[in-house]
Amino acid sequence: MKPVDAITQTFVRHKPAFMPYFTLGYPDYETSLAVVEACAAAGAHLMELGVPFSDPLADGPTIQQSMQVALQGGMTLEKCITAVATLRARQITIPFMLMGYINPILAYGTARFVQDAAQAGANGLIVPDLPPEEAGELETLCQQHGLALTYLLSPNSSNSRIKLVTRKTTGFTYLVSVTGITGARTALPPELGDFVQRVRAQTEGPLAVGFGISTREQVQAVGELADGVIVGSALIRAVGDATDKPGEAYRFVRELVG
C-alpha cells in the first residue's frame, strides 16, 4: 500500500477525521515526540507534523513562537525526518503529514528530502508557500514515492483556482477557514459552509478544514460540513502552558475527538 493510500482510507473510516498539528522540536525534541504519541493514543486519526522555519508566512503568533523555540533548540529538517522514523519505531501508525515551507526543502535537496521522508514513514507533505503552478518537480517525486502532496484553498479562491487545486492535490484538500493566518478564534466564519460547498462541487475527494478551530463545538460544527478537522494553535497553546505536556495533549485531543 502506498503511503498516500493510508490517508485516503483514514478519511473513509472516520467522519470527520481529526488531525492535530504540532511543531516538531517544541518545546524540545523528546517532548514533541511524546506529545505526538499522546495525541495518537487519545484518538487522533492523522497528524500534521510542523517543520520549524524562521519565516512561516501562513502561521500566526502561537505557531511562530513554537517554531522559534524549536529552532533555538537546534531543530532541523533532518531531525524532523528522524522524528518520523522514531515515531514509527515506537509503533505510532496513524498517517503523518509533514507540513513545512519550501526553502528548507530546497536547501536539503528536494529529491533527497522526498526519498528520506518516505523512507522514514511519512505519508504526505503540505508546503503552504508552494503553489501548484511551481510544484512540478515535487509532485513528480511524491508520485514516485507514493506520498500525498496536499494543497491549500482559501475562502477567496476563485472557481478556476478551486478546480486547479482539487485536480492536483492528493490525500485531501486543505481548506483554510479564514483569509489570514493560523490561530484559535472565538467563532467560525459564517461563510464557511458556502466555501465548503463551492469546493465540494468540484471534487469528490476528502476536504479538511483548518485555521481558527479550537473547541469541541467548533470541531463538531466543521465535522458536519467537511471530512476532516485540523487543530493546531489551540493544542500548542494548551501544551505550552501545561506542566505535564503529553498528558495535556492527551486530554485536549480526547476532549475534542469526543
Per-residue pLDDT of the chain (258 residues; tens, 9 = 90+): 999 999 999 999 999 999 999 999 999 999 999 999 999 999 999 999 999 998 877 677 889 999 999 999 999 999 999 999 999 999 999 999 999 999 999 999 999 999 999 999 999 999 999 999 999 999 999 999 999 999 999 999 999 999 999 999 999 999 998 765 454 455 677 889 999 999 999 999 999 999 888 899 999 999 999 999 999 899 999 999 999 999 999 999 999 997
**Other beta carbons within 10 Å of 65:** 17
**Other beta carbons within 10 Å of 31:** 16
Alpha helices (H) along the chain: 3-13, 29-42, 61-72, 77-89, 102-108, 110-120, 136-145, 159-168, 192-200, 216-225, 233-241, 245-257
Map residue 96 onto helix, strand or coil.
strand
pLDDT at residue 212, rounded to an integer: 82
pLDDT at residue 182, rounded to an integer: 52
CA torsion sign for 57, 236, 91, 254 is negative
Regarding pTM above 0.85, the answer is yes
The position carrying cell 505519508 is 123
pLDDT at residue 60, rounded to an integer: 77
Nine-digit cell at 147?
506520498
Domains observed in the chain:
3-257 (3.20.20.70)
Catalytic residue annotation: 48, 59
Map residue 85 onto helix, strand or coil.
helix
